Amino acid sequence: MDTFEITPAQARERQRRGALLIDIRQAHERVSGQAEGALAIERAALEAEPARHLPGADAEILLICQLGQRSLLAAQALRAAGYGRVLSVSGGTSRWAGDGLPLVRPALEADQADFLERYSRHLRLPQVGMEGQRRLERSRVLLVGAGGLGSPAAFYLAAAGVGHLRLVDDDVVERSNLQRQILHTEASIGAPKVDSARERLAALNPRVQVDTVAERVTSANVDALLDGMDVVMDGSDNFPLRYLLNDACVKLAKPLVYGAVQRFEGQVSVFDAGRQRGICPCYRCLFPEPPPPQFAPNCSDAGVLGLLPGIVGLLQANEVVKLLLDIGQPLAGRLLRFDALAMHFRETGLAPDPDCPLCAPGRPFPGYIDYVRFCAAG
């Protein structure tokens, strides 16, 4: 055994004799329990200012973390700083509990305890952490469609802690939906999809505010629906609505997370031309004109593998979270295609169209059009 380490039983005995036991984990890690009598001081703070937290260089200090690795490194750092009687508890809090030694839960307000425990796995990610999780909690996302794509996306965005979800869908639940629209159950048949969705999401994460709108998205209400939203996710299944959402997002400078499925194939992209004119394309750059209806039947006509919307919807949710946290590389300027039968992903680069009638730099917004007629003419 490393001379810097002692067992939990030895640490407990030394603690009884006056040694100072310090839990160096972060607050969210201590919610599930910490060694009885341990003082909570995060590792970074302890190493940065040991004199502020420790009684003296000759005091016996015992450090404990979750598994014993961080506490060992901290003990070595403090020894190097002149604190000669610092030891690490081998196996950390996990072994402490496994050996039957007493644990206590820190005294926290109920809301804080819920936040730290619910999102503990996010809080351990340096790309998220406390600041990122609070940012998600302040975020507002518009999900258009509570069907095949919207169902998995809404579930995971709510679970991730996105604080405000606005769900828009004017349809009711049918039995044929249940093969892929996992927000809904047999008991929901005949109910508005947004009501069914709100009930399921509230049961999953009551911290999330779910604002439901049982209306069809139109040129008359789209601006109001996008008002105050940080990201728009397109879970629609028809071309008129896709073009409308694209145009509104360009006009109002909102990032649009696009997804589509058919039979065994799906695709995902991010259209961010509203915020990055001339750099990122919009949906019209990819599809200047809608394909003829016979080449793009909807799911009710062509069919769809029930698992496919789940995969594509989760890819969309992943893009939403990246945009909200400003991490990673969003799919802006890239179209990701997925073939479920071949289990194959293919990425295609998308460039902005310099002559795009909607998003070309310097071009004023031309106004909303009759999208149904536009798509029928295609």
| 3-state secondary structure string across the chain | CCCCEECHHHHHHHHHCCCEEEECCCHHHHCCCEECCCEECCHHHHHHCHHHHCCCCCCCEEEECCCCHHHHHHHHHHHHCCCCCEEEECCHHHHHHHCCCCEECCCCCHHHHHHHHHCHHHHCCCCCHHHHHHHHHHCEEEEECCCCCHHHHHHHHHHHCCCEEEEECCCECCHHHHHCCCCCCHHHCCCEHHHHHHHHHHHHCCCCEEEEECCCCCCCCHHHHHCCCCEEEECCCCHHHHHHHHHHHHHHCCCEEEEEEEECEEEEEEECCCCCCCCCCCHHHHCCCCCCHHHCCCHHHHCECCHHHHHHHHHHHHHHHHHHHCCCCCCECEEEEEECCCCEEEEEECCCCCCCCCCCCCCCCCCCCCHHHHHHHC
Residues taking part in catalysis:
299
